[in-house]
Amino acid sequence: MDLKAIAKKLNIAIEQQQLDHAIDELYQLRPIDVADILVLVNPESAWQVLERLPNRATVFAYLDAEDQVSMARIFPRASLVQLIGEMPSDERADLYKRLDQTQRDALLPALAQAEREDIRRLAAYEEGTAGALMTSDYATLRAHMSVSDALAALRLEAPDAETIYHAYVIDDHRKLVGVVSLRSLILAAPEQLIGDIMLSSVVSCNVHEDQEDVAKTVARYDLIALPIIDDSGALVGIVTHDDAMDVASDEATDDFRKSGGVSSFVGSFKDTSIRLLYRKRVFWLVLLVFGNLISGVGISHFEDVIAANLVLVFFLPLLVDSGGNAGSQSATLMVRALATGEVVMRDWFSLLGREAMVALLLGMTMAVAISIIGYFRGDAVVSLVLALSMVSVVMIGCVVGMSLPFVLNKLGFDPASASAPLITSVCDASGVAIYLFIASQFLPL
C-alpha cells in the first residue's frame, strides 16, 4: 500500500473541496496508516480530514508528539477539546505534558472534570515508570457478579476500554483481587460467579516500577495487558502488550546507542537536530580524548625502547586494537545479557572463569597470527614479544569488557555505559603499558 500516493490524492481532494470519496478510502485503512498519511497533508487542512473520521482520536494518538503539538495549535479549540476527550487516556496525558502552560490553561477548563483529573493524575507520574506508561481505560468486574452480568458490563465498557480481553476484579477498596479473560467468560455458564472463575494470583507491577521491568513482565508472562497497582494494592491502570513492545524496543535502542558511546536521547535518530546529536556525542568523545592521554603517558615512559626499536610502533595499533576488540565483544555480550535479564549481577564471578578460558584461546590464536608476521617483519625476539603481548592484552581486554558493566552497575550507572569506545580506551591504555613493558624486558634499550 502506497501511503504517499493516497496522501497525494487526499491533497488534491482537499484543494477541490471534494473530500467524500477520499475519506471513504481512509475508512479502509488502519489508524496508524491514516496518521502517516495525515502528516503529508497541509497542517491547516488536517482537521478537515480528521473531523470526518469516526476514529479520529485513535488516528491522532498515532501521530508523533511534535505533529500532535503543532496540529493542536491550529485546531479550533472546541474541536480540540472534543478530540482530547476521546483520546486514549495514556496518549492524552502524554500530549498534555508536551503542551505549554498557556495551551494547558486554555484546554483544561473546557474538559469534563473526570478527564481533567485523569490527565492530572497520569501526568504526575515520573517519566520511565509504569505510571507514566499505563492507561486508565481498563475494564473492571466484581467477584459477586455473575458471568452474564459481567458480559453485560463489559459490553458497556467496551467502547472506552483499551482491552476487554482481560477484565480486572477489584474489591470495595479497588484492591486487585483477580483477573478474568474474556475467553473464560464466554466459555463459562451464564450463572457462574466471577469469584469462582477468576484467576486470583494476578501478575501485576507497582506504579513506580521502571518501565523496563513492566516490559519484561509482559514478555515473560505473554500478557495482553499488565495491571498496575499502587502501594496499597489498588488497581490504578493497565499497560497493554503493544505499549510494552514499544518500551522494549525503545530500551534496546537506548542500550544500543549507549554501547556506541552516545548518551541517551528520546526519539527518532532521523529527525534529531545537529545540535542535539552534537550534545549527545561530545561528552564521551572529549572525555575519552583525556582518557587516552594515559596511553600517551605509557608511551612516553617507554620512549627509550621505542626509539631503539621503531618496529614496535608498526605493531602498536594492531596490538592495542586487538585488546579493545576482544573487550568490546565481551562487553556487548554481557550488556545485552544483563538487559534481557538472562544474566544477573551475582552471575559475574561464575562467568569470569569461562570468559578467561575463552580469552586465553582467542589470545593464543591471535598470538600465532601476529608472531608469524612479527618474525618476518622483525626477528624471533620481536615475535616472542608480540605473542606474549597479544595473549596478555586479549585476556585483559576480555576481563575488563565483561567486568566493566558490573562495576558500572555497582556504581549506580547503566551497565550499557560500558560502551565499545570506553572499553577501547581502557584497553588501549593497559595494552600500551603491557606491550612496551614486555618489549623493554626482551629488547635492547
Which of 89, 143, 138 is closest to 111 using CA atoms?
Answer: 89
**Gap between the Cα atoms of 103 and 311, Å rounded:** 68
Looking only at residues 352 through 411 of this chain, which bind a second copy when binding is defined by CB under 8 A?
Answer: 354, 357-358, 361-362, 365-366, 369-370, 373, 377, 394
Residue 155 binds a second copy (CB under 8 A): yes
Report, in Å, the least distance between residue 222 CB and a second copy: 4
Interaction mask 314-333, a second copy, x per CB under 8 A:
xxxxx-xxx-xxx-xx-xxx
- Helix, strand, coil tally for the chain in percent (to 5): 70, 10, 25
φ, ψ dihedrals at 240, nearest 5°: -85, 160
Which of 328, 318, 295, 297 is closest to 421 using CA atoms?
Answer: 328
Helix (H) or strand (E) holding 163: strand 163-170
Kindly indicate which of the ranges 73-81, 93-101, 125-133, 218-226 contains the residues binding a second copy, using the contact rule CB under 8 A. Answer: 218-226
Retrieve residue 297's grid coordinates: 603517558
Work out which of 113, 173, 186, 346 binds a second copy, going by CB under 8 A.
Answer: 186
Decide: residue 119, CB within 10 A, 0-12 exposed, 13-18 middle, 19+ buried: buried
**Which is nearer to a second copy, 80 or 359 (by Cβ)?**
359
**Gap between the Cα atoms of 387 and 367, Å rounded:** 4
Residue 277 binds a second copy (CB under 8 A): yes
Angle at 370 between CA 364 and CA 376, to 5 degrees: 140
Residue 82 binds a second copy (CB under 8 A): no
Report, in Å, the least distance between residue 351 CB and a second copy: 7
Work out which of 289, 345, 380, 407 binds a second copy, going by CB under 8 A.
Answer: 289
Report, in Å, the least distance between residue 178 CB and a second copy: 12
Report, in Å, the least distance between residue 311 CB and a second copy: 8
**Which is nearer to a second copy, 26 or 132 (by Cβ)?**
26
Looking only at residues 421 through 440 of this chain, which bind a second copy when binding is defined by CB under 8 A?
Answer: 421, 424-425, 428, 432
Report, in Å, the least distance between residue 245 CB and a second copy: 5
- Give how many residues touch a second copy by CB under 8 A: 111
User: What is the DSSP code (8-state) at residue 222?
Assistant: T
